[in-house]
Amino acid sequence: MYGAAIAFGTTLVVSNGIGPAGAGEFFRLMALFAIATSTAVFGADTGLVRTISAQNALGRYSAIPRLIRYAVLPPLALSLGITAVACIYSVAVPMPHEYAVALRMSALFVIVAAVMSVYFGALRGLNHVVTFTVMQNVLLPTLRFGAIALVVFASGHLLDLVFAWTLPVAATALLTLWVVESYMPRSKDRPQSEAAATTPQESAHSFWTFSSARGVATIVETILEWIDVLTVTTVLGPAAGGVYGAVNRCVRVGTMVEHTGRIVTGPSISAALATQNIDRARQIFLATTRVLTAISWPFYLTLAAFGPTLLGFFGKGFEEGAGILWVICPAAMLSMSAGGVQSILLMSGKSRWQLLNKLSSLAVAIILNVALVPLWGLYGAVTAWASALLIDTFLAGYQVFRLVGIRTSLTEMAPALTLGALVPLGCSFVVLTIVGQGLLGLVLYVILLAPSYVALLYYFRTQLGIERFLASRKGGGKGAGTRSALAHQLSIQGENTMSKLSATTDAPAVSLREQLHRVWRHKMIVIITIVVCTLIAVAFSFLAPPKYTAKSSVLVNPLVTDPAAGGNANSLKVDISTESRAAGSREVADKAADNLRSEGVDNDSKLTDKLMNSTKVVPTSQTAVLDIEVSDSNAKRSAQYANAIAKAYLEVRQNNLKETITDSVKKLDAQIKQLEDEDKNNNGNANSAKISQMRERRNQIQLTSTVGGRVLTEAQPPKKATGLGHRKTALAGVGTGLLLGVLIAYVYDRMMRTVGYSDRLKDLGIPVQTVRPRSSDEDTLLLMRRIGSPDGNLRASNISGIVIVSDSPALADQLHRQLYRTIPSGKAYFTDYPALSKVLEHYSPEQVIESNEIPMVINLADEAPLSTLLRLSEACRVCLVPVGELSSRAQVRELFSHLRTLENTVSIAIFMDTDPEKEKVDGATA
């Protein structure tokens, strides 16, 4: 959800900063970049999730580097080919210089993005799903948001925006490579069991057989997401593409609800289907569908009812897209009311059906976009989008309802449908009738809707299935309650999921409060980052030269070079997006630079480049007005530059019009002369009427106005510099430092190689008991209760002994002494490995434990071989592993991977929250 929210925030910043036309160009490059990356990766990331998790579970650690090589090389070759094609295309096809450079630059980063995506898959395959989530959904979008905001604040040029969008990919890719390398298993391959030995080794052919199928599905889904944006931008121009892209981003925020529901309920549905418990799967599906409907319908109705106001947050001109919301929002509501049909298909192993559905939707989207966008404009594109969405929903719903056998009835859905529709419609009707659309109306609507709807949801929580939906996270035991990493694997492995469940761990979910507590453990990192960012911001505000922005407005006249030639009304319209490109072209900048030099304003030899870099042309929607904004460190000079650009643009446009008129007159003169020569040769006047008409037409062309437009408002030297000012810049530094500090602290916490604190072991699914220095006796009693012997009588609890093993002899000895104080005298025999090793020379570990009448508490520390440790643990039935802050997390994880293979053995990590002063006293007492 954080990634979606900050991506939406990035869209807001871009649209407000560069307007609809600039946003359209940016969205087009984003779309091409996403499609190119998906094509280059071609499912290799999903293939790594499946194969690495399987090989890791089988103990074939040496195969993992080979699998990564299988996955990296083809995407690397594909991305190089895509980059080469994009570079050739940008040179061969005429396009604006700035866009061509931006296209080539973004194409180069496709290589980096492909490698990053592949290593993301490796991270997930190694079961570090939390780290992957932080990297992809927190770090990358946060860096992009910060970079985009800085560029919009500083320049707002397309090339700079491309840098801001792609450079964080390189930074994240480098960090991901390092993280994957640090997480790679260092252990030798485990001895293969008979069942594991029969599992064939993964080859390049088998890897790509699975990955390519998922790759096609991913490419299809990416194209489906962006095909309409690309079509609108290409056919209708960048300004229309920017407006449509903003609508697209708004509507897709609602799909995050369905995505969240899929993650929450996917494992439970999968477990129910795997055990043929269709009734339970149906109940979870029904609860999910009710919740999705109850949440998404008010969102989409609000979006449609207050579309102009909401789209106005994107900037001036974006409210034009409000009308198309009434087309796509009802379609999205119908799609949501079908529930998690996509999750049912995937969890039931019908990924091929899902792919065919997506291909059908893509075919519909392409055909309708090509056919309708030139005719209906934005409404044609949104019709194609809605049709593709409904086709996909209908096919998936039919397959789930009829073929899988899971369906809902209208009676069961009635509460959610009624609440989700009537409450927001009633509130919007009241507000729109009394106040009308606008920011005030939106605020009153939210104040009216939020408390009443939440209260109704709570009151009808049972009928709506909210309680069952939340309970589905807990499943029905361990098999059904698998979450986090397992849920992630289930959502992508499809038909291969069921055979891999045994390799996953039951890692508990982590609440937001626990996450914040983890960050607070590293508060010095956050504080230092805030201080550094604030100092940098303050230094920047004082040292950076002030920037002044002056604006000149130009009214553009339509070009009518041949009034008698006929045509439709569109010939009298101005293509304002094309004119904005022309005003920002190098030809206009050259002309303005020449004028400024001749007037003695500026004699800089690089004045043309300076003007191009500091000029931003903003077309005003539904008008023929261009706003020419120029930024410079000198207020007077910024106004002179803006007026020079405006004047040069009109001069260039007038000269082009004169050349067009001259060419038209020459062509007519040539045609007239040809007709006169024909009459002269034929001694007649058969062409006289035609010649007369052409001469009249020639005269009209010569009388055509050559005025390309006029300056509506001349730029004046601004009185205040644009920017945040010293105080706001400092506050921005504090905010950026806080966000970045929290992010760095969280990444540092996730990447620590030591245990650090007990919750980090819980993330691995390892049972943990904390023993604190000030309440060690009470904690040890709780430990005894946990292992099943609350009174300390191990024999009565059917426990043959306790094994203590740790990489820290001091911690092992501390726990050994603590148990000695807790277990009643005579109920256990305390010993250590040096004393036991002499007996083990003659007897097996099982014989030693069975022959002893009193349960043994054995302190092995780090001295016993692994095989002896495991045999003693299985014979004793309890193994305690004391760990501290500096214990190796990887070693603890490796040890528990072996302990989990023991049957009827309780294995618990004991986090020793040691106190240095107490340790000194204990050492002196010993």
- Cα–Cα distance between 184 and 187 in angstroms, integer? 9
Task: Give the range among 179-183, 619-623, 725-729 with minimum mean pLDDT.
Answer: 619-623
- The larger pLDDT score, comparing residue 280 to residue 554, is at 554
Mean pLDDT of the chain: 79
Dig out the tokens for 128 from the structure: 């570090």
The amino acid that residue 924 corresponds to is A
Supply angle C-alpha 848, 854, 855, rounded to 5. Answer: 70
| Type of residue found at 480 | A
- Looking at residue 878, its pLDDT comes to 92
Contact between 254 and 332 under an 8 Å Cβ cutoff? The reply is yes
DSSP-derived pairing of the beta strands 709-713 and 548-556 = antiparallel
**pLDDT reading at 570 higher than 70:** no
Question: The pTM is what?
Answer: 0.56
| 3-state SS, residue 24 | helix
The token pair at 567 is 């045509």
Under the banding of pLDDT at 50, 70 and 90, the label for residue 386 is very high
Instruction: Please count the other Cβ atoms lying within 10 Å of the Cβ belonging to residue 189.
Output: 13
Q: Which two tokens stand for residue 102?
A: 């931006």
Positive or negative torsion for Cα 557, 561, 563, 566: negative
User: What DSSP string runs through 63-108?
Assistant: HHHHHHHHHHHHHHHHHHHHHHHHHHHHHHS---HHHHHHHHHHHH
- Check whether 192 has a pLDDT greater than 80: no
Q: If you search the block for the tokens 């040096």, which residue do you land on?
A: 834
Mean pLDDT (whole number) for 451-475? 69
pLDDT of residue 572: 53
Q: Report whether pLDDT(914) > 70.
A: no
> pLDDT tier at 49 (50, 70, 90 boundaries)?
confident
Chain length of the chain: 926
Residue 499: per-residue pLDDT: 33
DSSP string, 486-505: HHHHHHHHGGGSGGGGGG--
* Predicted local confidence at residue 749, as pLDDT: 79
Query: What pLDDT digit, counting tens, does each position of 435-451 carry?
Result: 887 888 888 888 888 88
The secondary structure of 186-208 as a DSSP string is -SPPPPPPHHHHTSPPP-HHHHH
DSSP state of 305: H
For 80, other C-beta atoms within 10 Å of its C-beta total 14
Going from N- to C-terminal start, the domains of the chain cover 1-205, 557-713, 759-925
Please check whether residue 65 is in contact with residue 184, taking contact to mean a CB–CB distance below 8 angstroms.
Answer: yes
Q: How far is CA 79 from CA 41, 221, 650, in A?
A: 8, 19, 43
Q: What pLDDT does 568 receive?
A: 41
The contacts found for 279-284 with CB under 8 angstroms, 24 or more apart, are: 280/476, 281/344, 281/406, 282/406, 282/407, 282/408, 283/468, 284/468, 284/469, 284/472
Q: How many CB atoms lie within 10 A of CB 689?
A: 9
pLDDT of residue 262: 65
The span from the CA of 243 to the CA of 249, in Å, is 10
CA distance 739 to 660: 57
Element (H, E) at 602: none
Per DSSP, 506 falls in state -
Kindly state the average pLDDT of the residues 4-20.
Answer: 79
Q: Which residues contact 871 (CB under 8 A, 6 or more apart)?
A: 844, 845, 846
The predicted pLDDT at position 475 comes to 45
CATH class of the region 759-925: alpha beta
Looking at per-residue confidence, does 368 or 54 come out higher?
Answer: 368
Give the range among 270-279, 366-375, 663-672 with minimum mean pLDDT. 270-279
Are 244 and 328 contacting, i.e. CB atoms less than 8 angstroms apart?
Answer: no
C-alpha distance across the termini of the chain, in Å:
54
pLDDT at 562: 56
The residues facing 618 across adjacent strands are: 627
CA-to-CA distance for 870 and 861, rounded, in angstroms? 13
CB within 8 Å of 355: residues ≥ 6 apart: 213, 216, 217, 220
pLDDT of 857: 92
What mean pLDDT do residues 254-278 have?
Answer: 68
Predicted local distance difference test score (pLDDT) of residue 477: 38
Q: Name which of 809, 815, 799 is nearest 854 in CA terms.
A: 799
Q: Which helix (H) or strand (E) holds 581?
A: helix 576-583
Residue type for 235, please? V
| Angle at the Cα of 742 from the Cα atoms of 737 and 744, rounded to 5 degrees | 90
